[in-house]
Structure 1
């Protein structure tokens, strides 16, 4: 049986006060990036590897709760098993000076930050293709994310975008009722009722893509015409627009059954942009694995 994080935490000392300049082993905190749920994210400097990193550190008071420890351990083990260019890599995870520290590569900004500024249509579609590919990979590994939203996609150089924050993720085995965890505005209606599944991840992903390409986020229950729909259609092929509409269908059975099926569908769209010459220049064509083809809807 794998050891519990509680075993390692028992021998840790009193938590060190965290502020700019604080050293946690080889990491020096540079600034506070934000907080959400029960953890705070810091920008830090790795003094050994000479590079910037992001530290996700849960509040110490939560570490006294056995459920929080179990959730952290699950998140670490899920992220450790994921190896994909579209998923943020977990570099390190351990107790340091009384704090549980998760270390990640440092990106430039979140998608939530980026969509506040103008984005070239081809770049936005490229991001969408990468996001679909990343979630499809997670679903292939039977990982249900449950909190897909713009804040959980991190941008890097060369227009690379990566999915992160698997704090609510679960290994999908059998359907069962769970708490209605997620983010309002991006949560599928059935997930809000405590019944998340691959189709609810597809719904959230579809809404992120809709927001990216239209500048608007429809409120559920959706009413026609959807806000920003004309802007969504601008420069996109009708097939790609139809794919997005299918992903955000309020009725789960009418969506793609998982992101793998969504990936297969988008791979059959030869020209996602109405300008075919630009479509052909997209730098990251979606790669469909044999497993994906077997699971296509």
Structure 2
């Protein structure tokens, strides 16, 4: 029987203000990395393990109701379930001095940051392989991410890219209505209407790939497929067709999930027209299986 885990906050825990240099148990905050709608992400040093980490710390106002605590518990449970080289691993999750702290390895930058500089097609293909594998694995584990975008892929040395931020994610065994949360420019039309499916994550990932190889995303929303002339230069027809299928505005014309997209990519031997890269035998493309959505 599955063990029920609850996030408890002691009534006598008082949370003081967080400042750079503050210490939370074994973590010392070194700089602020970013701030979202309900949480701030800090770079910190793990003083016990002597390594750099990223700490996601929700605003204390967000912790005042049970629904928010349930949301955090869901995010932690989802990340604890996922074990894949292209998904950012969870290191720690608990209340420290009245603050709820979620700890991850600290990357070098996000994919969004990296795409502001020139990127070779070979490197972009390497990233694409890993990202498709990550989403395929998440879907194989019945996890719907709902916020796939360049900012939620973190880069590490040796061209490793990992998917992160499962704050909107859900365990998904069947379609059901939820809030239309997501990021404008990457959210699928049906997800914006509150009806996300695995095909919605495929759409968002397809737009990330489009931007990775074209330099920008199509004007959104679009009722017809955008112009692919900028993609065709240097990319094989099979790979361009994969991106086309992923971002089709009609959900039923897309891959049914990341597993199907992953398996389709595994059949593309040469993603570049000059055949300088071969994906044959790539460990990232071991076959995945999941029942059809």
TM-score by length of structure 1 reads 0.93
Unaligned runs of 5+ in 2: none
The Cα offsets for residues 174-222 of structure 1, whole Å up to 9 and x where unpaired, read as: 2111110111110000000110000000000000010111001112332
Contact kept in structure 1, 2:266 and 2:279, CA below 8 Å: no
Q: Which residue of 1 aligns with 2:245?
A: 246
Contact kept in structure 1, 2:30 and 2:44, CA below 8 Å: yes
Greater share of helix: 1
In 1, Cα distance between equivalents of 2:221 and 2:153: 25
Where in structure 2 are the equivalents of 1:175-186 lying within 5 Å? 175-186=175-186
TM-score by length of structure 2 reads 0.95
**How far is the alpha carbon of 1:170 from its aligned partner?**
0.3
Q: Which residue of 1 aligns with 2:4?
A: 2
Q: Structure 1 residues 149-158 or 167-176, which shifts more?
A: 167-176
In 1, Cα distance between equivalents of 2:35 and 2:256: 33
In 2, Cα distance between equivalents of 1:197 and 1:39: 26
Contact kept in structure 1, 2:270 and 2:279, CA below 8 Å: no
1:281–1:193 Cα change, 3 Å: closer
Q: Which residue of 1 aligns with 2:126?
A: 126
Name the count of aligned residue pairs: 291
**How far is the alpha carbon of 1:226 from its aligned partner?**
2.7
1:12–1:240 Cα change, 3 Å: farther
Q: Which residue of 1 aligns with 2:106?
A: 106
The 4+ residue runs of structure 1 with deviation greater than 4 A are 281-285, 294-297
**How far is the alpha carbon of 1:282 from its aligned partner?**
9.0
Unaligned runs of 5+ in 1: none
1:282–1:115 Cα change, 3 Å: farther
**How far is the alpha carbon of 1:231 from its aligned partner?**
2.5
Task: Indicate the RMSD between aligned Cα atoms, in angstroms.
Answer: 1.8
Q: Which residue of 2 aligns with 1:73?
A: 73
Contact kept in structure 1, 2:127 and 2:161, CA below 8 Å: yes
**How far is the alpha carbon of 1:224 from its aligned partner?**
6.5
In 2, Cα distance between equivalents of 1:222 and 1:12: 52
Contact kept in structure 2, 1:264 and 1:296, CA below 8 Å: no
Q: Which residue of 2 aligns with 1:36?
A: 36
Q: 2:285 aligns with which of 284, 287, 291?
A: 287
Contact kept in structure 2, 1:155 and 1:162, CA below 8 Å: yes
Q: Which residue of 1 aligns with 2:64?
A: 64
1:281–1:270 Cα change, 3 Å: closer
Contact kept in structure 1, 2:40 and 2:59, CA below 8 Å: yes
The Cα offsets for residues 67-97 of structure 1, whole Å up to 9 and x where unpaired, read as: 1111000000000000000000000000001
1:224–1:201 Cα change, 3 Å: closer
Contact kept in structure 2, 1:62 and 1:68, CA below 8 Å: yes
1:122–1:285 Cα change, 3 Å: farther
1:242–1:76 Cα change, 3 Å: same
Contact kept in structure 2, 1:12 and 1:97, CA below 8 Å: no
Contact kept in structure 2, 1:130 and 1:284, CA below 8 Å: no
Q: Which residue of 2 aligns with 1:273?
A: 272
